[in-house]
Structure 1
């Protein structure tokens, strides 16, 4: 086959971003930012096809997997088949796709005797009303507002929200060093890759249509967030949100202020998944999501194995 995959770098962002937004997709993977943020961790590679699609491959624990082709919905079956052929003929592997969104899965209507389609509950994205997160009205969100009011009283005249730009990179790096030290052994290994991904974004932020904002207290950055915008869905996607855990109300404040200042036009907010972590799940549920963006794993079944044998083997 003539598919040639190459490593994903900052200089590719502007071109590849143009393939996104051609179909409805409410997952956090509906913009290019997550691919760049986690590019090092998953060894992400890409291939452009016919000016209509971009194909993505990642490597997890030494094995290659794919994401769904990024293209218009009407072109999805064709480029899905190209990926399948590449995996079968070049990699000698069954095609396996992670994080396929629900609309695409329904559109493809893959035959059950050739593919296994399994929902990934820990990978579902939390979707919220943007207005609800900005206003925090009602009894259930009242505790969030109380935390914010405490911060405003305790640090009156000492805090401010700022839209961040490339020149603020040093502030973010210094914050991340402090945050990493505060977390100590609590930080899972993959979050070190996340920190490195943030550094890469800051080093190349002029290449991205990215939104960044932070809370300063006494002139020092104590919380920041990075997000992107899916115009087709009128959806803000919050990729990164970090705050000094020792300051009460700070997480709630950056959550609210980032949306108010950077995404005034957003109608919904995607705060990504909880990775199956109980504490993170509880935190995301406490903001009262309106729905979830479900994701699936697609596995091609080898003909000689049959559906039952393949599922037992895996």
Structure 2
């Protein structure tokens, strides 16, 4: 494909459009966890992602969630007239980055009341050194969990590659069997593992004896200072596996990484409390149109 279709036409989000959309995504500087090419690719089936472009040059990601239609601006907001057309067609804006919204509101200041922060989708960002070292009173209990895990299980850690991706897949299958009763990210995690060696993912696999016990994977965002952890899966019979995965992944990251984006809580109160206990350094805010 040599160009992005003009709305209302659209193209399925696939590897075929990589050369068209990846430069736009790399030019985004807000650090939104969803907006990398491969993150979108592994979620494309789940959300029926499609790509389109308006007459004024706004490149939009169209998506479906819970039976509703949305658009995500990838370079700028559409014009007011185009937004009205999208609304008539059933679309509303989500995952709007701060810089794109700021630029839009400078042009259309009367629209400030039309948008609101989407707290459930705000990304949690942490200092890498804090997650890797777990120093101080705040992290005392977490450090104890990690120390106990190391003492009890003597884990070994390998980088995730094509040679051991089958071990990560085995962990994922066991994890899924233990969580059949709840909606999960099993399919997207499986898609991510299928791209090891192709996508710019970095990951680890934790072994206890000869048994694969957990894995984590993610990718570097934007200017190279932030790493986003997309998936962590562990065999929960190994007490402390998730605390260990969090800590050892941070410790294994490249020296230029200063921050770790651990994505959103999706409004899950238990997950929100857990994420807050790691003392986030900041949040990556995302905005949506008020309904």
State the TM bucket, normalised to the shorter chain. Answer: 0.7 to 0.9
Q: Determine the structure 1 residue equivalent to 2:166.
A: 170
Instruction: Measure the CA separation in 1 of the matches of 2:196 and 2:128.
Output: 25
Q: What are the equivalent positions in structure 2 for 1:192-231 lying under 5 Å apart?
A: 194-231=185-222
SS in 1 for 2:93: strand
Q: 1:65 to 1:274 in 2, by over 3 A?
A: same
Instruction: Measure the CA separation in 2 of the matches of 1:247 and 1:81.
Output: 53
Cα offset, 1:233, TM superposition: 5.8
Q: Determine the structure 2 residue equivalent to 1:21.
A: 26
Instruction: Measure the CA separation in 2 of the matches of 1:182 and 1:59.
Output: 28
Instruction: Measure the CA separation in 2 of the matches of 1:204 and 1:29.
Output: 17
CA RMSD of the aligned region, Å?
Answer: 2.7
Are 1:106 and 2:97 counterparts?
A: no
RCO comparison, higher one (Cα < 8 Å, 6+)? 1
Are 1:85 and 2:82 counterparts?
A: yes
Instruction: Measure the CA separation in 2 of the matches of 1:87 and 1:162.
Output: 51
SS in 1 for 2:228: strand
Instruction: Measure the CA separation in 2 of the matches of 1:259 and 1:12.
Output: 32
Q: Determine the structure 2 residue equivalent to 1:284.
A: 275
Q: Determine the structure 2 residue equivalent to 1:182.
A: 178
Per-residue CA deviation, residues 246-285 of structure 1 (Å, 9 max, x unaligned), is: 2122111111211222333211111011111111111101
Instruction: Measure the CA separation in 2 of the matches of 1:13 and 1:222.
Output: 34
Name stretches of at least 5 consecutive residues in structure 2 with no aligned partner.
none
Name stretches of at least 5 consecutive residues in structure 1 with no aligned partner.
300-313
User: Is 247-256 or 103-112 further displaced after alignment?
Assistant: 103-112
Per-residue CA deviation, residues 44-87 of structure 1 (Å, 9 max, x unaligned), is: 1124799x974311022443211112x3xxxx25xx239x6387
Per-residue CA deviation, residues 79-101 of structure 1 (Å, 9 max, x unaligned), is: x239x638717x84265111112
Are 1:252 and 2:257 counterparts?
A: no
Question: Contact (CA 8 Å) 2:216, 2:249: kept in 1 or not?
Answer: yes
User: Is 225-234 or 281-290 further displaced after alignment?
Assistant: 225-234
Q: Determine the structure 2 residue equivalent to 1:309.
A: none
Are 1:97 and 2:93 counterparts?
A: yes
Instruction: Measure the CA separation in 1 of the matches of 2:59 and 2:168.
Output: 32
SS in 2 for 1:264: coil
Runs of 4+ residues over 6 Å off in structure 1: none
Which of residues 6, 10, 24 is equivalent to 1:5?
A: 10
SS in 2 for 1:66: strand
Instruction: Measure the CA separation in 1 of the matches of 2:47 and 2:212.
Output: 30
Per-residue CA deviation, residues 175-212 of structure 1 (Å, 9 max, x unaligned), is: 11211122242x22xx1xx2112222222333311112
Q: 1:275 to 1:37 in 2, by over 3 A?
A: same
Aligned length: 283
Instruction: Measure the CA separation in 2 of the matches of 1:284 and 1:155.
Output: 25
Question: Contact (CA 8 Å) 1:115, 1:298: kept in 2 or not?
Answer: no
Question: Contact (CA 8 Å) 1:274, 1:280: kept in 2 or not?
Answer: yes
Question: Contact (CA 8 Å) 2:171, 2:213: kept in 1 or not?
Answer: yes
Q: Determine the structure 1 residue equivalent to 2:253.
A: 262
Instruction: Measure the CA separation in 2 of the matches of 1:59 and 1:23.
Output: 22
Q: 1:271 to 1:85 in 2, by over 3 A?
A: same
